[in-house]
Amino acid sequence: MSKLGFMKNSLMAILIVLLIGLNSFLLSANSANVNSTKDSTNISAGINHGPYLVNMTDSSVQIVWTTSVPCLSWVEIAPDDGSHFYASERKKYFDSPYGQKRIGKFHCIKVDGLKPGTKYRYRIFSTEVLYSKYPQYHYGKTFSSKVYKANPLYFKTYSPNAESVRFVMINDMHQDNERISKLLSPAIGKVDFILLNGDMMNHIPCEDKIFEAFLDTVVKLTESSIPIVFARGNHETRGDSSESFMKFFPTPTMKPYFSFKVGKTLFVVLDSGEDKPDSDIEYSGRADFDKFRSDEALWLSSLIESEEFKTAKNRILICHIPPAWGQWHGSLHFRKLFSPMLTKENFNLILSGHLHGEYMLFEPGKSGIGIPNVMNCNSEAADAEVSGEKINITFRNINADTVRTVSF
């Protein structure tokens, strides 16, 4: 090796050592097993949001969290069999769709190969990447959900044989975290999933706003252990970071319209898009929702012909803007495309929000929609149970008082 080459390698090695030493100094106040910490200069390093559960099935789930610094992350899973989490080395799952483990601040890891209707314990880990320039990678602290004295997090996969399904729905919270907490708290520990039926925020100016507006509150309430289902509202289509929405709430179709099955009930989530014409000045020339709804209608027509759809005992449609309501362009276009498919032969019920005010029930036949369309207001939570072929919904206010019950 030439003298010049030797000197370059030596300088690079010294630089790496200095970087590692500087980072160790900045993070000296941090322990390796905390969610997030701050030093005296208010610089934080660690897990700053999450984890939360999305896209649950009877054999898989996706676990999402973020870190304040670039990290390589993984999930460890253990069965709920009474053994200590550290009784043996647990299986690790990484975000490595193309054969390489991803490095970044956003972490979405799919855990699959699970047993139906089974409770699992899990822990998340993120190791800080101090230096990453191929072929050299240098790592710092490891952050995690609490792993020693605290209990691990958990989830339970859906059971395809379950005779009943319970969930709670809220909508149109528009960043009111206090109301979110009061409405969801009574349902925690009693439901299979939480349904957020759109307009949980005003718009999405940046990705962190998603957590600030509602998601941090939901994660805290659920203790990272109840799956979240999100039906996009028209306000989630707005803002500079609105296109990031799907990253935070991945779906089986990789679109904001999708289906999932819990027990013998099939849930179909549709996205009604924006409510005004695409040419409206509010959208600054970027809206293309007529095409979006047309593509979505083709998807639904294909789903209706599927074996999964035909064999489901119950089918519940979820859509932020009520299909049976409205004379604005978005509603009119939606009905034109979808009303032929929204029949009693295809669906039992539609669950919607959007109108903010009082609860409304649109009886079958309203505006050409052949099934009942429930519109939940933004001051109530809808506790729903599907048992056999019966759907019961109890609506309660922020004081946990029952306001009404309906059955279908």
Both tokens of residue 369? 């929609």
Q: DSSP characters for 247-270? A: HHS--TTSSS-EEEEETTEEEEEE
- pLDDT tens profile 298-344: 999 999 999 999 999 999 999 999 999 999 999 999 999 999 999 99
The reply to whether domains 31-156 and 164-407 share a CATH topology is: no
Residue entry with tokens 């695409």: 278
Architecture of the domain made up of 164-407: 4-Layer Sandwich (3.60)
- Fold assignment, 31-156: Immunoglobulin-like (2.60.40)
CB 235 within 8 A of CB 61: no
| Distance separating alpha carbons of residues 277 and 76, to the nearest angstrom | 47
- pLDDT tens profile 93-133: 999 999 999 999 999 999 999 999 999 999 999 999 999 98
* Count of C-beta atoms within a 10 Å radius of residue 317: 25
Cβ burial 213-249 (10 Å sphere, 16+ → b, else e): bbbbbbbebbebbbbbbbbbbbbbbbbebbeebeebb
Give pTM, 2 decimals: 0.88
pLDDT tens for the chain, residues 1 to 408? 554 454 445 555 444 444 444 444 333 333 333 343 333 234 578 999 999 999 999 999 999 999 999 999 999 999 999 998 889 999 999 999 999 999 999 999 999 999 999 999 999 999 999 999 888 999 999 999 987 777 889 999 999 999 899 999 999 999 999 999 999 999 999 999 999 999 999 999 999 999 999 999 999 999 999 999 999 999 999 999 999 999 999 999 999 999 999 999 999 999 999 999 999 998 999 999 999 999 999 999 999 999 999 999 999 999 999 999 999 999 999 999 999 999 999 999 999 999 998 899 999 988 889 999 999 999 999 999 999 999 999 999 999 999 999 999
Q: For the chain, which residues make up each domain, given as ranges? A: 31-156, 164-407
